[in-house]
Amino acid sequence: MTTPNDKTNDGGVPVPTTPAGASSTAPAEYPPASPAGRGMFGNQGTGDVSGYGGLVRPRKPIEEAARPYGSYFDEVRDALEEAYPDFGDAIEKVVVDRGELTLHVRPERIAEVCQVMRDDLALRFELLSSLSGVDYLGAERRLHVVYQLTSMTYRRMVRLEVAVSAEQPHVPSVTAVYPTADWQEREAYDMFGVVFDGHPALTRILMPDDWEGYPQRKDYPLGGVPVEYKGAEIPPPDRRRSYQ
């Protein structure tokens, strides 16, 4: 089969030719190289080759959800309000977003709320599936700790979230309620600098004990250390050539 851009020789065999009107924007030619020092998202001149140096994501305000929430979310809130008399003081807001329920809890009350969430017969969130940190740089309480709870009895999930400032990054430990929080709190401490008061052994888990700073905070310098791989030394990100 021949194409419109093919010619045939005397034997009827197609001979490829240059497409008419080919230019630098056509697939027939390579496009011009992008300027050196440009990242994936328009970043230029910083030496950041991760691609995220020029990426800015707008933050939406976290708004209180209106009832009814839908799904089992209303049942969870009602059960917690009934079992925990200090609900109004401990829960800052209830958010339903993308099909998920998040209870924003005052930091000093997180262990109490977890205890109720685990032990009340109408809740039964027996498992802390994950505990992680988030840094919302620019916010007054920029450091958040997120607790993902799972009820194996009722096949439900709920998220608890607390927020503290970088100047006072103290949150009560929940290891007495959920033993799985032990190493997860250590990791959040190591990466974000959140201090979990009452933790049995709050030490660094990934970085050396004498490491300065917390690598997953948004204002932590890119930096890095050289890595040797198959006889070649790969420099840290801030000293690599920018992608073309």
| Backbone torsions φ then ψ of 193, nearest 5 degrees | 80, 15
Residue 201: the pLDDT is 93
Residue 232: the pLDDT is 80
Q: Which residue has the tokens 């933790």?
A: 199
Helix axes 110-119, 73-83, angle to 10 degrees: 110
pLDDT, tens digit, for every residue of 10-64?
Answer: 555 555 555 554 555 544 444 444 444 444 455 555 555 555 555 666 777 778 9
Single-letter code of the amino acid located at 177: V
Token readout for 111 is: 């262990």
Residue (of 135, 122, 139, 137) closest to 61 by Cα position: 139
For residues 161 and 90, what is the distance between their CA atoms, to the nearest angstrom? Answer: 12
Q: How confident is the model at residue 152 (pLDDT cuts 50, 70, 90)?
A: very high
| Backbone dihedral region for residue 173 (phi beyond 0: left; psi -120 to 50: alpha; all else: beta) | beta
140 burial (CB, 10 Å; 0-12 / 13-18 / 19+) is: exposed
Cβ proximity of 186 and 193 under 8 Å: no
How far apart are the two ends of the chain, measured CA to CA in Å?
38
Residue (of 213, 205, 209) closest to 186 by Cα position: 205
pLDDT, tens digit, for every residue of 94-135?
Answer: 999 999 999 999 999 999 999 999 999 999 999 999 999 999
Residue 35: the pLDDT is 46
For residues 140 and 83, what is the distance between their CA atoms, to the nearest angstrom? Answer: 31
pLDDT, tens digit, for every residue of 196-219?
Answer: 999 999 999 999 988 889 999 988
Which CATH code of 3.90.180.10, 3.90.550.10, 3.30.460.80, 3.40.50.1820 fits the domain covering 73-173?
A: 3.30.460.80
**% of the chain residues with pLDDT over 90:** 59
**% of the chain residues with pLDDT over 70:** 71
Residue 235: the pLDDT is 74
For residues 244 and 242, what is the distance between their CA atoms, to the nearest angstrom? Answer: 6
Structural domain boundaries in the chain: 73-173
21 burial (CB, 10 Å; 0-12 / 13-18 / 19+) is: exposed
R_g of the chain computed on alpha carbons: 27
